[in-house]
Chains A and B, each alone.
Chain A
């Protein structure tokens, strides 16, 4: 089985660490890397092969919505799981409309996040 490559784009260091650790536990074979800004995240997401990008909406340097659109335009097939603190019932549909593969409301359980990641990977065309 080919190694899964996952990129976390979030400007909160503790958040990146916690998500990385969670992914390491759930997907021990995956390669997980991090970007700390929207600009760096976009550059790496577009410039390298990824199976999944975990993108936070609330970035400080630029809007997560813009990063999402730019990623989607450059890589139409790349799976992008968008995260934010906003409730899923409000943000879920608009985020998917904007090009995300799925939406995860931060504050959900680790199991739910793991399930969302797994589901997004399984839908990824790279699969």
Chain B
């Protein structure tokens, strides 16, 4: 507007004073009434006149500015280059050029005023430049808003950069896709490398995720609904990034999709960490499996050694003691009557010692590897163990077998169940202070369940969780090797129940 005003004044007389003289004080009042700045300069850059708005800006009277140069005015504290720039514009206008400049001046009272200024040459009838007329308008408000907007945009871009979030907008009808700077960063693309179309976007999506993407976006468009999904994109250098994308559809009043907007969060690091974690867990599971296999192998070796030791003790020591007992009996029968009571008492003591030692041999072999488990099977072994436990501890131990097994339990399972029974009964004797124990064996077609329930003082749940000392982990490991499980149910004061479940295999 100011330019056109000044242009329309192109043919006004040489000096404003003259113009005022000619037009009267009405024109002076008109100029001073403008809130835009007005100035008149000689071609050598001296101020001829300022209107009131310009004088107010400078905080000076007219007589204080006339005849001075722009650079001499108190506008340029801390920014002399602006004054020089305006002088340059003034010179160019004096040379016949219309110049438009955006500048800023310091108000003497403080604060900066942004000015959109135009410098226009005034010519005489011969076309010679005689003066330069300047108009300017205060654009501080606009400038402030622009700067705030730019600042806000910078902060938004910074936030996107920090959060690895990029935003996009797709004008569906015209197929124009606009990306934020950070989205270019995420895709690893320079501005010119993306053609700004939906197909261009799809071509960057990982091939395995492309159909999925088309489906998600298509459904959102059709139903005009927001969507959230994860997909990978491939950067030009081949690097794969994982994006968490949210989008929404903006439709016209009739429901026709117009635009789609959304943002993509680069979650590659999180995704990578998750994959590393999964791999680590896999490795852990594998090594746990190896440990378990090793433990099972060690256990098998231990069982084999126990069996060998039991056999050795039984066959060598047990038999020798039996022979000694028979020989001693033969010796006693042949003692002459004259041998006296002392010799007979000594022989009787020897016989007792042999009996006691045989008892020890029986107990050791039974604990190492009860022959009856192999000879008579699990049911007989459980019954013997319960009876033996009852007589050793005074705790009443009842055995329930149900139903009668048609098929014997396979040797491996029988051994595991028997060891669990021994361990559980040991715990009862050591910790439970029970009066009754019920041992129950349930033989189903596909599963065998052994339950040992006592009426003792129970185990604290916290202790159950960390109860390596109670052999609970050992019981569970034994069962796990055969694909079974052991559970412990207990509460202080209400007894403990150990339940072992094993899948049944063919005894052959």
Contacts and interface: CB of A to CB of B under 8 A. Distances in A.
A86 interface: yes
Contact of B358 (A25, A58, A85, A111): A85
Nearest to A109: B329
B347 interface: no
Interface string B186-211: 00000000000000000000000000
12 contacts: A15-B323, A21-B330, A22-B326, A22-B330, A57-B375, A60-B315, A85-B314, A85-B322, A85-B365, A90-B384, A107-B354, A110-B330
Contacts of A110: 325-326, 329-330, 333
A94 interface: yes
Contacts of A109: 325, 329
Interface string B262-290: 00000000000000000000000000000
Contact of B322 (A15, A25, A87, A111): A15
A57 B329 CA distance: 23
A17 B361 CA distance: 22
Q: Which bucket holds chain A's interface residue count?
A: 20 to 34
Interface string A74-88: 000000000001110
B380 A90 contact: yes
B367 to A, nearest CB: 14
Given A18-B326, A22-B329, A94-B380, A12 B319 contact: yes
A107 B329 contact: no
Interface string B333-365: 100000000000000000000110010011001
A89 B333 CA distance: 29
Contacts of A86: 362, 371-372, 375
A94 B323 contact: no
Interface of B: 311, 314-315, 318-323, 325-327, 329-330, 333, 354-355, 358, 361-362, 365, 371-372, 375-376, 380, 384
A58 B310 CA distance: 12
Nearest to A108: B325
Interface in A8-54: 12, 14-15, 17-19, 21-22, 25
Which of A19, A60, A91, A111 lies at the interface centre, i.e. has the most chain B CB atoms within 10 A of its CB? Answer: A91
Contacts of B375: 57, 65, 86, 91, 94
A121 interface: no
B384 A58 contact: no
Listed from nearest, the 7 A-B pairs whose CB atoms lie closest are A110-B329, A18-B326, A107-B358, A106-B322, A14-B323, A18-B323, A12-B319
A85 B330 contact: no
Contacts of B330: 18, 21-22, 25, 110
Interface majority SS on A: helix, strand, loop or mixed?
Answer: helix
Contacts of A90: 372, 376, 380, 384
A12 B323 contact: yes
A93 to B, nearest CB: 10
Contacts of B318: 85, 106-107
Which of B321, B376, B380 lies at the interface centre, i.e. has the most chain A CB atoms within 10 A of its CB? Answer: B376
A67 to B, nearest CB: 13
A25 B333 CA distance: 10
A113 interface: yes
B381 to A, nearest CB: 9
B347 to A, nearest CB: 12
A15 B372 contact: no
A111 B332 CA distance: 12
Nearest to A111: B329
A13 to B, nearest CB: 9
A113 B354 CA distance: 16
B380 A14 contact: no
B365 to A, nearest CB: 8
Given A18-B327, A85-B319, A85-B322, 12 more contacts: A14-B323, A18-B322, A19-B326, A21-B327, A21-B330, A22-B329, A58-B315, A60-B315, A85-B365, A107-B322, A107-B358, A109-B329
Interface in A70-127: 85-87, 90-91, 94, 106-107, 109-111, 113
